[in-house]
Amino acid sequence: MTDTDRPWRRPPRDHFPGVPAWSMPASAMPEERFDVSPLGTVTPEWAWGGANGSGIRVCLLDSGVEADHPLVGGLDGAVDVIADEDGALEVVPTDPVDNAGHGTACASVIRSVAPATLLTSVRVLSSGKTGSGAALLAGLGWAVEQGFDVINMSLSTTRTDFCADLRDLADSAYFRRCVIVASAHNMPVHSYPWRFPSVISVASHDNPDPMAYYYNPAPPVEFYARGVRVPVAGLGGRRILTTGNSFATPHIAGICALILSKHRWLTPFQLKSVLYLAAENVAVPDGDGGTRVD
């Protein structure tokens, strides 16, 4: 499948596939055929059984990635957000390195869940694991324009002056079928973009099963994934254990990559529905190979 086969990658249409926009009479527009992914009996096996993430492009906004780490196994690309001579930010190719280790750890989690995904690193954090809101906006805007299938954001900003622009980018990603998976803040403070409904928000649980995740019926956090004593890649080829919502998030990003590699036409709305139906505390075996929702 090429990008031009995907309706959300083609030039904008005057109307949505199949139905007219802006309340025009249905008879005014010819119907357009489009592929769909019917949601049958959703189980974890239906959702991602047999999938490895192949064909799915995942972008990691973080501190960079040590690409030659054995737990990462290479990258499809690496870019950096830097200021030019006039102070304007631009996104440029860079070496696949990481001076902080945060991005490398997250990349190794995604790779452990969805080993065949195509990973691209966008460095927006410094060696001190901090960055500017402007760099975050520039990196996210670039990622959305590049049409990645999944964007992992194990970071957030508490600066409200960036909130509106971040929300616009998150909405643009949603309409382009670009799924943003974002970490909740580790502290009980308001930060962004994880609080936006157009993203998939993630916090931690202490179940050691990397594929076990839970739906939270009391948002703003929507899902909990493994985030306590997670085995990840450390800089210099090391392997370490670490804890935090940052490392729960790439588990869900990896599971999203698995689901999308098996069900290519899912929209972000449908994907979030599949995540809900396949969550550990929602999907209950019914004895006939399906599930029921308690």
Q: What are the tens digits of pLDDT across the range 35-54?
A: 666 666 888 999 999 999 99
Of the candidates 119, 111, 126, the one whose C-alpha atom is nearest the C-alpha of residue 80 is 126
Report which of 127, 121, 99, 108 is spatially closest to residue 69, judged by C-alpha positions.
108
283 to each of 46, 163, 206, 269, 278, how far by Cα in Å? 12, 34, 19, 18, 5
Q: Report CA Rg, the chain.
A: 19
Stretches where the chain sits below pLDDT 70 are 1-40, 284-294
Q: Is 173 helix (H, G, I), strand (E, B) or coil?
A: helix
Sorted by sequence, the CB contacts under 8 Å of residue 190 that are 6+ apart come out as 158
pLDDT confidence of residue 294 = 46
Instruction: Identify the pLDDT of residue 35.
Output: 64
Whose CA is closest to 152, among 129, 131, 121, 174? Answer: 121
Taking only the tens place, the pLDDT of each residue in 88-131 is 899 999 999 998 999 999 999 999 999 999 999 999 998 778 88
Model's pTM, two decimal places? 0.89
Asked whether the beta carbons of 111 and 253 are under 8 A apart, the reply is no
Residue 17 is predicted with a pLDDT of 53
Among 248, 218, 213, CA closest to 230:
248
Residue type present at position 3: D
